Amino acid sequence: MKVKQAIRKIIILGGGTAGWMAAAALANNPVFAAIELCLVESDNIGTIGVGEGSTPHLKRFMDNLGISEKDWMELCHASYKTGIDFINWNGDGQQYFHPFYFQMDVKPAEVFFINANARRRGHGNAVKPDAFFSSGVLAKRNLSPRPNKALPCTNEYGYHFDATELANYLKDYACKRGVRQIIADVVEVSTTQHQQIETLILANGERLSADFFIDASGFSAKLIHKALGVPFQSFADELLNDSAVTVPVPALMDSTQTQQAKYHTRATALSAGWLWQIPLTHRLGNGYVYSSRHLSANAAAKELLHSINLPESTQVRFLKMRVGVSDKAWHNNVLAIGLAQSFIEPLEATSIMMTQFTLERFMSLFERYQLNKQAETLSRQTLNQAVMQLVLGIKDYIQAHYVTSQRSEAYWVAARKVAISQRLTQLLKAWYQGEDFDLLLYQYDQQLAYFRPSWYALLAGMDYRDPKLKRPFEPISAEITAQAISYCQTLVEQYFQPKHS
């Protein structure tokens, strides 16, 4: 079988977090050592910059680059993230915490699962995840997830950060390792008769050629959609939020709480969406993610400012979001990443995780991809299937936040009535009717983006159940429940509580 011609040059179109993540990852990978890497970005296009939170996966990405937290966090105004506090999602003033789960939580988490199953089958009071996970206790006490002494296992946490500064940090990292940066506007893209990208034509007339291209051009998707015509699947009728209005405030100006959250994200439900509050070291990021079909931009700005006690004259920033996924992330000689590939609204901070997942899968397939035509096709199919599966899994979980809400505003009523997948329909039905939810989680294991602790945190936290249901179930004793809660508190005091607090 004929061996393919080796790839000698890769061009990344677009900077921002996604583009520079790609540049840094490839520059650090010995598989790409002999390949010329070039990134083209415009200084006339600003970054979206709203994704200031991460999942725990980002730590692995930075570790793989050999970057320590002390090297990047201060420069990016970063703080640690233990999870997300969901506030008033049922319109009753209640809240619950979606924690990051790690090995030390196994025993108390099991007690939470049993109590949650008892509740949904008609036994016992509402039970929330907050007290049964170490990160929930950390959030309640406003403590960092970085331990004061060595843990017997690896703990899980994410970050909050300034997305622009993170992109700048990764830019410096990549350029020091040989990535060439070109600041220019791409005005035209030429393709071959076989629908391969051939050259990027710059505003000054210069033509840039490469063997392979990575499309990190954001929502414009200049290569994957505009040049190659790969279809885009919109989720606009399944996830209603398509807009955001944002306003940062200095860290000491947070007037919404007596004690500002330092180590977790807040997600507060509002009339036509939800408000994020993300604590960085120098500012509190605030943003209202909403549906423009249910609220005007001016009304959204007014509601945002009122919610955080700022005057209506405060300057805000408006953003539009394209929610959906490319039919293919990898088509011919183009790999789409970041917003050019997919975007599920920022509720669970999954955008950077998707970029990281795509890059890691691409790098693992790259050597095989170069072997021959058959391996090339198989590599693309493998990545595209994996990306689509993860995107749809994320969509299921995000939709579950809305379709389980009991809020009565027109937006929330509409959000409950959207089309959902057969998989999500079965999961919600099993939970609501007191059936074997864990069996379904097991059956769908390979298709789910989120696993047992997250699903239980959401559905028990929302107290999603049939209030008339009474099915046989033996609840766990109050004594064991108290012991589980005490266990988490003791862990936090032993490993995370400051010595002189």
pLDDT in tens, 9-60: 999 999 999 999 999 999 999 999 999 999 999 987 665 555 588 999 999 9
Q: How far is CA 369 from CA 212, 333, 347, 387, 421, in A?
A: 12, 11, 34, 17, 32
- Superfamily in which the 9-77+160-234+323-372 domain is placed by CATH: FAD/NAD(P)-binding domain (3.50.50.60)
122 versus 260: which is more confidently predicted? 122
Strands (E), 302-405: 317-320, 324-326, 330-331, 334-336, 342-343
Residue 371 confidence (pLDDT): 82
Annotated binding site: 15-18, 81, 186, 339, 348, 352
Residue 136 confidence (pLDDT): 96
Annotated binding site for L-tryptophan: 348
Share of the chain above pLDDT 90, in %: 87
Residue 403 confidence (pLDDT): 98
User: What does the mean pLDDT of the chain come to?
Assistant: 93
**Helical axes 106-120 vs 478-495, angle rounded to 10°:** 140
Q: Among all residues, which ones are annotated catalytic?
A: 81
Residue 255 has pLDDT above 50, yes or no: no
Place of tokens 């200095």: 250
Residue 102 confidence (pLDDT): 87
Annotated binding site for FAD: 15-18, 186, 339, 352
If pLDDT is split at 50, 70 and 90, which confidence band does 501 have?
A: very low
- Which residue from 95, 133, 123, 98 is spatially nearest to 484, judged by alpha carbons? 133
Residue 254 confidence (pLDDT): 47
164-187 pLDDT, tens digit per residue, is: 999 999 999 999 999 999 999 999
Rounded distance, CA 340 to CA 217, Å? 6
Report residue 110 as tokens: 């099991």
Residue 499 has pLDDT above 90, yes or no: no
Share of the chain above pLDDT 70, in %: 95
Residue 154 confidence (pLDDT): 85
Residue 368 has pLDDT above 60, yes or no: yes
204-245 pLDDT, tens digit per residue, is: 999 999 999 999 999 999 999 999 999 999 999 999 999 999
Rounded distance, CA 433 to CA 64, Å? 44
What is the identity of the amino acid at 294? Answer: H
Residue 45 confidence (pLDDT): 67
Q: What's the average model confidence in pLDDT over 401-408?
A: 98
